[in-house]
């Protein structure tokens, strides 16, 4: 960001209200998502160890698939918000429908791949002979829920772009409750075992997609937007999503490499790494909520040709990101005596985790800047830059991570490499934000 005068108090407060109004419900919806897997695990876990192991493999595959296609939410949010800023509500919903149609097509393509090859995919991920049949059964049934799952992502992006994060929160909470009730009744009441858990999740996802579609269709009819697929619009949505897909895959590669390196450090370090990674992911939800607000707000300002408003909102959100990062870091330090015993009673694992945990705490202000600027640039539709920046970050991280076991480093050294990764991301995003090249105005980028 280029130098600018101090934001007036009234303007700052207006930005604060907008950020809170969008970020708080977004945080609730983000937290609700992993509860689906937790509910499934709690219910299936009582069936037996093999069933729980099978669920673990299948749910990991499904979670990866959803995270890969998260660009459906991000790209749609930015595109819809621009149209809203330009005063074109009809075009905004039409743009959102293109994203939903793209999600449906991608979901059908995933089903076509997963159904005939589910057993081979499970074997590829190293499931044991006892767990593999359960993983395959769960994966085949749950694959039927991928189209509605992806449609939920796209529809969430539509509502975020329309500056509505409350509806996704309500739908996420209702979906979690329905999923838990369906799982319990189908697994035990109907005696379907792990298949009942899969069917419960599919039904819950279909219900969530139906609610979202009802909301979007009502909006389309109110503003006279067409609901039919438009080839050019779907193609444009896909083109906007490709750079974000590259970004997401690069980030997933970083996390997978970090886990692979931790596994080479020994069982204690691997166990400690899993604990810390779980905490890191939880902290990310709080910061990602501000990023989601950034996507919606920045897209709207740029659609309205208000570059000054976009700059001021960006500056204020960065301040929010830094402050939130400091608070989260302090909470990690303060809670460490209570946090680690929740996950392990092994003193060796605790000793390995503690210094790495402090590294995570120190890095939170950096993470705050990264998440916020990532959201700002997504809202600006600056996907190609985000893709190249993430590839550069991956290129820096890989040798740093691989040097950890080669030089005899431990888990703390690995998380130092993770902190380096976030610092590189911060540098690339900060440079871009200061350059002003992301400030491209108009209803479309």
Q: For the segment 288-328, what is each residue's pLDDT rounded down to a tens digit? A: 999 999 999 999 999 999 999 999 999 999 999 999 999 99
- Using pLDDT thresholds of 50, 70 and 90, give the confidence band for residue 150: very high
pLDDT in tens, 377-432: 999 999 999 999 999 999 999 999 999 998 888 899 999 999 999 999 999 999 99
Which segments of 69-193 does DSSP mark as H helices, in order? 71-85, 89-124, 132-143, 146-161, 166-184
Average pLDDT, the chain: 90
- Using pLDDT thresholds of 50, 70 and 90, give the confidence band for residue 344: low
Measured distance CA(417)–CA(400) in Å, rounded: 6
- Residues 378, 296: contact at Cβ < 8 Å? no
Between the alpha carbon of residue 59 and those of residues 33, 38, 67, 268, the distances in Å are 13, 10, 12, 24
| CA angle, residues 367, 154, 236, in degrees to nearest 5 | 100
Measured distance CA(39)–CA(34) in Å, rounded: 9
Q: Which of residues 264 and 423 earns the better pLDDT score?
A: 423
- Residues 197, 44: contact at Cβ < 8 Å? yes
Between the alpha carbon of residue 401 and those of residues 253, 366, 416, 419, 420, the distances in Å are 12, 19, 9, 11, 10
Measured distance CA(396)–CA(1) in Å, rounded: 24
425 Cβ contact list (under 8 Å, min separation 6): 370, 374, 389, 390, 393
Quote the pTM value. Answer: 0.89
And the tokens for 106? 């991608």
Per-residue model confidence (pLDDT) at position 282: 82
Measured distance CA(309)–CA(15) in Å, rounded: 9
pLDDT in tens, 206-226: 999 999 999 999 999 999 999
Query: Residue 184, Cα to own-chain centre: how many angstroms?
Result: 27
Measured distance CA(348)–CA(369) in Å, rounded: 33
């Amino acid at each position: 960001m280029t130098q600018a005068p101090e934001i007036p108090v009234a303007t700052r407060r207006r930005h604060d209200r907008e950020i809170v109004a969008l970020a708080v419900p977004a945080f609730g919806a983000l937290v609700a998502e992993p509860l689906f897997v937790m509910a499934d695990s709690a219910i299936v876990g009582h069936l037996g160890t093999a069933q729980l192991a099978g669920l673990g493999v299948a749910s990991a595959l499904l979670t990866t698939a959803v995270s890969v296609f998260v660009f459906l939410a991000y790209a749609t949010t930015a595109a819809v918000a621009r149209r809203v800023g330009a005063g074109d509500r009809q075009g905004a919903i039409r743009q959102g429908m293109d994203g939903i149609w793209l999600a449906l097509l991608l979901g059908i393509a995933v089903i076509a791949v997963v159904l005939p090859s589910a057993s081979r995919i499970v074997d590829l991920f190293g499931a044991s002979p006892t767990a593999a049949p359960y993983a395959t059964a769960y994966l085949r049934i749950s694959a039927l829920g991928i189209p509605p799952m992806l449609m939920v992502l796209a529809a969430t992006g539509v509502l975020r772009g329309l500056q509505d994060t409350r509806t996704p929160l309500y739908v996420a909470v209702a979906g979690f409750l329905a999923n838990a009730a369906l799982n319990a009744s189908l697994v035990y009441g109907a005696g379907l075992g792990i298949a009942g858990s899969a069917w419960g999740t599919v039904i819950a996802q279909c219900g969530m997609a139906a609610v979202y579609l009802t909301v979007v269709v009502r909006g389309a009819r109110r503003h006279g937007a067409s609901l039919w697929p438009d080839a050019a619009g779907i193609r444009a949505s896909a083109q906007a999503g490709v750079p974000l897909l590259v970004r997401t895959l690069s980030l997933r590669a970083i996390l997978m490499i970090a886990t692979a390196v931790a596994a080479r450090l020994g069982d204690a370090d691997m166990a400690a790494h899993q604990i810390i990674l779980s905490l890191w992911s939880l902290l990310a939800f709080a910061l990602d909520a501000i990023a989601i607000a950034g996507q919606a707000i920045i897209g709207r300002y740029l659609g309205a040709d208000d570059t000054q408003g976009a700059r001021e909102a960006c500056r204020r959100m960065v301040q929010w990101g830094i402050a939130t990062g400091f608070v989260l870091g302090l909470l990690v330090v303060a809670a460490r005596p209570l946090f680690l015993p929740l996950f392990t009673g092994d003193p060796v694992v605790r000793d390995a985790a503690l210094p790495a945990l402090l590294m995570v705490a120190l890095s939170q202000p950096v993470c705050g800047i990264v998440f916020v600027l990532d959201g700002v640039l997504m809202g600006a539709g600056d996907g190609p830059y985000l893709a190249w920046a993430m590839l550069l970050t991956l290129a820096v991280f890989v040798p740093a991570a691989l040097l950890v076991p080669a030089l005899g480093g431990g888990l703390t050294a690995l998380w130092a490499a993770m902190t380096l990764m976030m610092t590189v991301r911060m540098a690339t995003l900060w440079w871009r934000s200061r350059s002003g090249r992301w400030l491209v105005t108009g209803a479309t980028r």
